[in-house]
Amino acid sequence: MCTSKNLTLNTRGSIVALSNSNDLLVNKTLEEISTISTGFSFRGSIPQDPNGDTRVVQAANLLGNGSIADENGLKRIKVIGRADSVMVSKGDVLLVSRGTSSGGFKAAFVNEKRFPLIASSSLHIIRVNRDDVLPEFVCAYLNTPKGQQQLQRIASGSTIRTILTKNLSLLEIPVPPIETQRTIVELVRNVISQQKLLQQRDSLLNELISSIVIKKSE
């Protein structure tokens, strides 16, 4: 658990609590601070092309800490024609559009982009267009228990629940002053960095153990 004077984060980098009597929280709908579009709907399976220069981001590629899986592991396709509305840009927030009542609607922030990326129809693309709202804060809030509760309330369907764009655009989020947003974003980044270091350590440890076992068996 990571804390600051006005917020608390869990070990996954999600905000657990945000409170400071000196901060003025202003409720804003997503349509007031961003544009929202839905990813591309492929007919059938994704037509993979090993020589394609565009990667496809799907719901399964969003990680629990608010980031995206390594782009090298994403499916590759060749885009023919214009696909501006479904192309992902650096700074976008991706949100899972379909889920279950027991699961969640994960959000991820596009922090970097080495290849052209296209979102599948299982994702909403939220593009913040306000200078006083940080997209990383929006992502962090959507991943909070409160944010997830709000998303569940606007989702429709019984077994497979879907968030429609028109309903998502009316979802309200509490927006603190920009300095508070920066503090939150910095803490989230630190948590994610620590997670990556731990993963690298575990990977090196597993490789070391494996090499020792193989040598012992030879």
What single letter denotes the amino acid at residue 44? G
**How confident is the model over 57-73, as a mean pLDDT?**
89
In this structure, CATH architecture of domain 2-217: Alpha-Beta Complex (3.90)
Quickly state the pLDDT bin for 170 (edges 50, 70, 90).
very high
Contact 140, 78 (CB under 8 A): no
Q: Is the confidence at residue 47, as pLDDT, over 60?
A: yes
- pLDDT tens per residue across span 180-203: 999 999 998 888 778 777 767 877
What is the pLDDT, as a whole number, of residue 3? 47
Contact 154, 95 (CB under 8 A): no
User: For residue 175, what are the CA distances in angstroms to 5, 78, 94, 184?
Assistant: 17, 39, 19, 12
Give the separation between CA 125 and CA 112, rounded to whole angstroms.
15
pLDDT (tens digit per residue) in 114-137:
899 999 999 999 999 999 999 999
Tokens of 192: 């994610």
Average pLDDT over residues 73-99: 90
pLDDT for the residue 139: 96
Domain residue extents for the chain: 2-217
